[in-house]
Amino acid sequence: MVKPKVLATHRLFDPARRILEENCDAEYWEKPERPPREEVLRRLKDKEALICLLTEKVNDELLQAAPKLKITANVAVGFDNIDVAACTKRGVIATNTPGVLDETTADFAWTLLMAVARRLGEGDALARSGNWKGWDLDQLVGTDVWGKTLGIVGFGRIGKAMARRASGFRMKVIYTDAVRAAAEAEQELRAEYRDMHALLAESDFISIHTPLLPETRGLFDAAKFERMKRTAFLVNTSRGPVVEEAALVTALESEKIAGAALDVFEKEPAIHPGLNRRNVVLAPHIASASLETRTKMACMAAENVIAAFEGRRPANILNPEVLKG
């Protein structure tokens, strides 16, 4: 029996490789640097499945270069790198990996929030510099988190996980979303709905958890920063283009907001040089980067591929209409 051919644009974790290799003829990009585009297109010519990361654009160019492709499995919950409509047009299944990274991402959003509030980056740099002179009363004084107001933009699974964590800090939780949560969820999480303008005006910390959609691209622009408190902090672990970095830099330079903590960037891996500031915490897109979670994500992508080859509906299909008929 001839096994279906799969290309993974990353070496993946061993449990995911075992899932693939039991059922497929799997080929991996083993080098630490990202594969060149032309190399991906060349290797896809005879492949029936692609397991990819957010760094690979699955568009008409790629689909045309892969005439045998049946499924593209994204190892991420976001899928703004995939032209789902183009996949559907060509009968290619598209999948992602939702759910398994919610708690880990919420953990890291809280890590960023705490770090920027308490000036951890500055403190770490001082402690390592050899220039620390010892304890002082007003040295690197930051901002309390306990008892403050947390504004959550995007109240899906990760946004709700943020709200659950906020209860331990006795925070007031407010949120905004295109669809208001059920009353039961609001009551359980002690979260109050606000429109965007009210949320911006009330929040001491704003944490973004919205997907990248046409209507959310550039959502946080100069006008939004104008409405925030001067003492407020912005945290983004969603998608970089949700925030206009130039507008954010201007807001920071003019002290319209107190600081920011970012795990994602508008033009990754490039980062606006104006964000290299003492009151900004920067991380290299690692919110879901625990070994347990990233392994689960890779395994989920592999299982989506196997399901497609076995004629089953992948659990995380983005375009189920390709299976009709």
- Give the pair of three-digit tokens for residue 320: 């189920």
* 272, 175: one domain: yes
Average pLDDT, the chain: 96
Mean pLDDT of 58-72: 97
Predicted confidence band at 114 (pLDDT cuts at 50, 70, 90)?
very high
Does the pLDDT of residue 1 top 90, yes or no? no
Catalytic position from the list 103, 194, 268, 272: 268
Quick check: pTM over 0.95?
no
Q: What is the CATH number of the domain that holds 317?
A: 3.40.50.720
Mean pLDDT of 112-137: 97
Catalytic position from the list 239, 266, 294, 303: 239
pLDDT digits (tens, 9 = 90+) for 153-196: 999 999 999 999 999 999 999 999 999 999 999 999 999 999 99
Does the pLDDT of residue 26 top 70, yes or no? yes
Catalytic annotation on 285? Answer: yes
* 109, 255: one domain: yes
Catalytic position from the list 34, 157, 272, 285: 285
* 174, 256: one domain: yes
* 141, 179: one domain: yes
Total structural domains in the chain? 2
Mean pLDDT of 53-62: 95
- Give the pair of three-digit tokens for residue 237: 């672990």
Domain range enclosing 40: 5-100+291-323
* 224, 119: one domain: yes
Mean pLDDT of 79-104: 96
Percent with pLDDT over 90 in the chain: 97
* 193, 276: one domain: yes
Vertex 154, ends 144 and 257: CA angle to 5°?
40
Interhelix angle 157-166/102-117, nearest 10 degrees: 50
Catalytic annotation on 190? Answer: no
* 193, 267: one domain: yes
Query: Helix/strand/coil (H, E, C) string of the chain?
Result: CCCCEEEECCCCCHHHHHHHHHHCEEEECCCCCCCCHHHHHHHHHHCCEEEECCCCCECHHHHHHCCCCCEEEECCCCCCCECHHHHHHCCCEEECCCCCCHHHHHHHHHHHHHHHHCCHHHHHHHHHHCCCCCCCCCCCCCCCCCCCEEEEECCCHHHHHHHHHHHHHCCEEEEECCCCCCHHHHHHHCEEECCHHHHHHHCCEEEECCCCCCCCCCCECHHHHHHCCCCCEEEECCCHHHECHHHHHHHHHCCCCCEEEECCCCECCECCHHHCCCCEEECCCCCCCCHHHHHHHHHHHHHHHHHHHCCCCCCCECCHHHHCC
pLDDT at residue number 313: 96
pLDDT digits (tens, 9 = 90+) for 119-130: 999 999 999 999
pLDDT digits (tens, 9 = 90+) for 221-268: 999 999 999 999 999 999 999 999 999 999 999 999 999 999 999 999
Mean pLDDT of 312-317: 96
* 34, 136: one domain: no
Predicted confidence band at 324 (pLDDT cuts at 50, 70, 90)?
confident
* 142, 96: one domain: no
Catalytic annotation on 10? Answer: no
* 163, 262: one domain: yes
pLDDT at residue number 325: 57
pLDDT digits (tens, 9 = 90+) for 279-299: 999 999 999 999 999 999 999
* 93, 138: one domain: no
Does the pLDDT of residue 136 top 80, yes or no? yes
* 228, 267: one domain: yes
